[in-house]
Structure 1
Amino acid sequence: MPEFTIGETDFLLDGEPFRILSGALHYFRVHPDHWADRIEKARLMGLNTIETYVPWNAHSPRPGVFDTDGILDLPRFLRLVGEAGMHAIVRPGPFICAEWDNGGLPPWLFREPGVGIRRHEPRFLDAVEKYLHQVLALVRPHQVDQGGPVLLVQVENEYGAYGDDRDYLQAVADMIRGAGIDVPLVTVDQPVDAMLAAGGLDGVLRTSSFGSDSANRLRTLRDHQPTGPLMCMEFWDGWFDHWGGIHHTTPVEQAAAELDALLAAGASVNVYMFHGGTNFGLTSGANDKGIYRPTVTSYDYDAPLDEAGNPTAKYFAFRDVIARYAEVLAEVPGAAVPAPEQTVALGEPVRLFEDPAAWGSWSRWESPPVLDELETDTRLAVYRTELSGDGPGVLTLGEVRDRAAVLLDGAPVGILEREHHERAIALPRASGRLELVVEDQGRVNYGARIGEHKGLVGPALLDGFPLTGWEVLAIDLDRVPRLWESGPPDDGGSGVGPTAWRAHFSAEPDVDVFLDTSVWGKGIAWVNGFCLGRYWRRGPQHTLFVPGPLLRPARNELVVLELDVLADPTARFVAGPSLGPLED
Structure 2
Amino acid sequence: MFSNTLLTFAFLLTVLPVAFFEETCKRTFKVDYDKRTFLKDSKPFRYVSGSLHYTRVPPELWKDRLTKMKYAGLDAIQTYVPWNLHEPSPGLYHFEGNADLELFLQTAADVGLLVLLRPGPYICAEWDFGGFPSWLIQQNASTVLRTSDPRFMKPAVRWLSFLYEKLKKYTYCNGGPIIMVQIENEYGSYGVCDKVYMKNLVKIAKSVLGESIVLYTTDGNVAQDLKCGTYPGVFATVDFGTGQNVSQAFQPLDQMQKGPRVNSEFYVGWLDYWGSPHAKVSTAAIIKSLKNLLDYGASVNMYMFEGGTSFAYWNGADPPFKVCPTSYDYDAPLSEAGDMTSKFEAIRKLLGKYKQLSPMNPVPKNSTKLNIGPVKMTKIASITDTKHIVLAKSVYPISQEDLSQSMGFTLYRTNLSERFYQAILNVSGIRDRGYISVNGLYQGTVDRNENTFLNISGGKDQVLDILVENQGRINFGSQITQNRKGLISNVTLNNRILKNWEISRVDPLLVNAVNKSQCAKGPTVFEGVFKSPRELGDMFAYFPNWTKGQLFVNGYNLGRYWPKKGPQISLYIPSAILLSPGYHNTIRILELEEVDCIQKGHNIYLKNVPDIDGPTSL
The residue matched to 1:186 in structure 2 has which SS?
Answer: strand
In the alignment, which residue of structure 2 is the partner of 1:3?
A: 28
Residue 73 in 1 paired to residue 105 in 2? Answer: no
Which deviates more, 109-118 or 295-304?
Answer: 109-118
* Contact 1:249–1:582 (Cα < 8 Å) also in 2: no
CA distance in 2, matches of 1:121, 1:561: 40
The residue matched to 2:509 in structure 1 has which SS?
Answer: helix
**2:586 pairs with one of 557, 573, 576:** 557
**1:233 pairs with one of 241, 249, 264:** 264
The residue matched to 1:259 in structure 2 has which SS?
Answer: helix
Given the two structures, how large is their TM-score scaled by the length of structure 1?
Answer: 0.94
In the alignment, which residue of structure 1 is the partner of 2:546?
A: 520
**1:223 pairs with one of 255, 258, 281:** 255
**2:193 pairs with one of 164, 182, 189:** 164
Question: CA distance change for structure 1 residues 454 and 429 in 2, over 3 Å: closer, same or farther?
Answer: same
In the alignment, which residue of structure 2 is the partner of 1:56?
A: 83
Aligned pairs for 1:539-554 (under 5 A) are: 539-552=566-579, 553=581, 554=583
* Contact 1:120–1:165 (Cα < 8 Å) also in 2: yes
Q: Which amino acid aligns with 1:504?
A: V
The residue matched to 1:219 in structure 2 has which SS?
Answer: helix
Count of aligned pairs? 571
Question: CA distance change for structure 1 residues 418 and 239 in 2, over 3 Å: closer, same or farther?
Answer: same
CA distance in 2, matches of 1:493, 1:582: 28
The residue matched to 1:188 in structure 2 has which SS?
Answer: strand
* Contact 2:536–2:578 (Cα < 8 Å) also in 1: yes
CA distance in 1, matches of 2:422, 2:338: 55
Which deviates more, 317-326 or 431-440?
Answer: 431-440
Residue 574 in 1 paired to residue 603 in 2? Answer: no
Q: Deviations over 1:450-475 (max 9, x none)?
A: 24211122222223332212222221
Q: CA deviation at 1:263?
A: 1.1
In the alignment, which residue of structure 2 is the partner of 1:440?
A: 470
The residue matched to 1:128 in structure 2 has which SS?
Answer: helix
The residue matched to 1:334 in structure 2 has which SS?
Answer: coil
Given the two structures, how large is their TM-score scaled by the length of structure 2?
Answer: 0.89
Residue 207 in 1 paired to residue 232 in 2? Answer: no
* Contact 2:368–2:538 (Cα < 8 Å) also in 1: no
Q: Which amino acid aligns with 2:467?
A: V
**2:557 pairs with one of 527, 531, 548:** 531
Aligned pairs for 1:502-513 (under 5 A) are: 502-508=527-533, 510-513=536-539
Unaligned residue ranges in structure 1 (runs of 5+): none
CA distance in 2, matches of 1:104, 1:378: 13
Which deviates more, 198-207 or 548-557?
Answer: 548-557
Q: Which amino acid aligns with 2:176?
A: G
* Contact 2:372–2:607 (Cα < 8 Å) also in 1: yes
Aligned pairs for 1:304-383 (under 5 A) are: 304-329=333-358, 333-335=364-366, 338-355=369-386, 357=387, 359-361=388-390, 363-383=392-412
Aligned pairs for 1:152-191 (under 5 A) are: 152-162=180-190, 163-181=192-210, 182-191=212-221
The residue matched to 2:209 in structure 1 has which SS?
Answer: coil
Q: CA deviation at 1:327?
A: 1.7
CA distance in 2, matches of 1:59, 1:31: 16
The residue matched to 2:265 in structure 1 has which SS?
Answer: strand
Q: CA deviation at 1:169?
A: 1.2
CA distance in 2, matches of 1:276, 1:121: 33
CA distance in 1, matches of 2:390, 2:314: 23
* Contact 2:551–2:557 (Cα < 8 Å) also in 1: yes
CA distance in 2, matches of 1:391, 1:515: 40
The residue matched to 2:488 in structure 1 has which SS?
Answer: strand
CA distance in 2, matches of 1:62, 1:314: 41
Which deviates more, 405-414 or 549-558?
Answer: 405-414
Q: Deviations over 1:158-209 (max 9, x none)?
A: 1111121111111111111122243200000111111111100011011111
* Contact 1:518–1:543 (Cα < 8 Å) also in 2: no
Question: CA distance change for structure 1 residues 340 and 393 in 2, over 3 Å: closer, same or farther?
Answer: closer
**2:525 pairs with one of 500, 513, 519:** 500
Residue 473 in 1 paired to residue 504 in 2? Answer: yes
CA distance in 2, matches of 1:559, 1:389: 36
In the alignment, which residue of structure 1 is the partner of 2:15?
A: none
* Contact 2:569–2:614 (Cα < 8 Å) also in 1: no
CA distance in 2, matches of 1:177, 1:507: 50
CA distance in 2, matches of 1:412, 1:154: 49
In the alignment, which residue of structure 2 is the partner of 1:450?
A: 480
CA distance in 1, matches of 2:195, 2:527: 52
Question: CA distance change for structure 1 residues 582 and 158 in 2, over 3 Å: closer, same or farther?
Answer: farther
Q: CA deviation at 1:497?
A: 2.7
Question: CA distance change for structure 1 residues 390 and 307 in 2, over 3 Å: closer, same or farther?
Answer: closer
Which deviates more, 157-166 or 176-185?
Answer: 176-185
CA RMSD of aligned residues (A): 1.9
Question: CA distance change for structure 1 residues 489 and 386 in 2, over 3 Å: closer, same or farther?
Answer: closer
CA distance in 2, matches of 1:410, 1:460: 19
Q: CA deviation at 1:550?
A: 1.0
CA distance in 2, matches of 1:542, 1:579: 6
CA distance in 2, matches of 1:310, 1:195: 36
Unaligned residue ranges in structure 2 (runs of 5+): 1-25
CA distance in 2, matches of 1:519, 1:528: 22
Q: CA deviation at 1:512?
A: 1.2
Residue 256 in 1 paired to residue 281 in 2? Answer: no
Q: Which amino acid aligns with 2:290?
A: L
**2:222 pairs with one of 184, 189, 192:** 192
Q: Which amino acid aligns with 2:430?
A: V
Q: Deviations over 1:9-55 (max 9, x none)?
A: 00111111100111111111111111111111111111010111001
The residue matched to 1:241 in structure 2 has which SS?
Answer: coil
In the alignment, which residue of structure 2 is the partner of 1:265?
A: 296
**1:423 pairs with one of 452, 460, 464:** 452
* Contact 2:120–2:184 (Cα < 8 Å) also in 1: yes
Question: CA distance change for structure 1 residues 391 and 76 in 2, over 3 Å: closer, same or farther?
Answer: closer
Residue 296 in 1 paired to residue 325 in 2? Answer: yes
CA distance in 1, matches of 2:422, 2:372: 50
* Contact 1:350–1:494 (Cα < 8 Å) also in 2: no
* Contact 1:239–1:301 (Cα < 8 Å) also in 2: yes
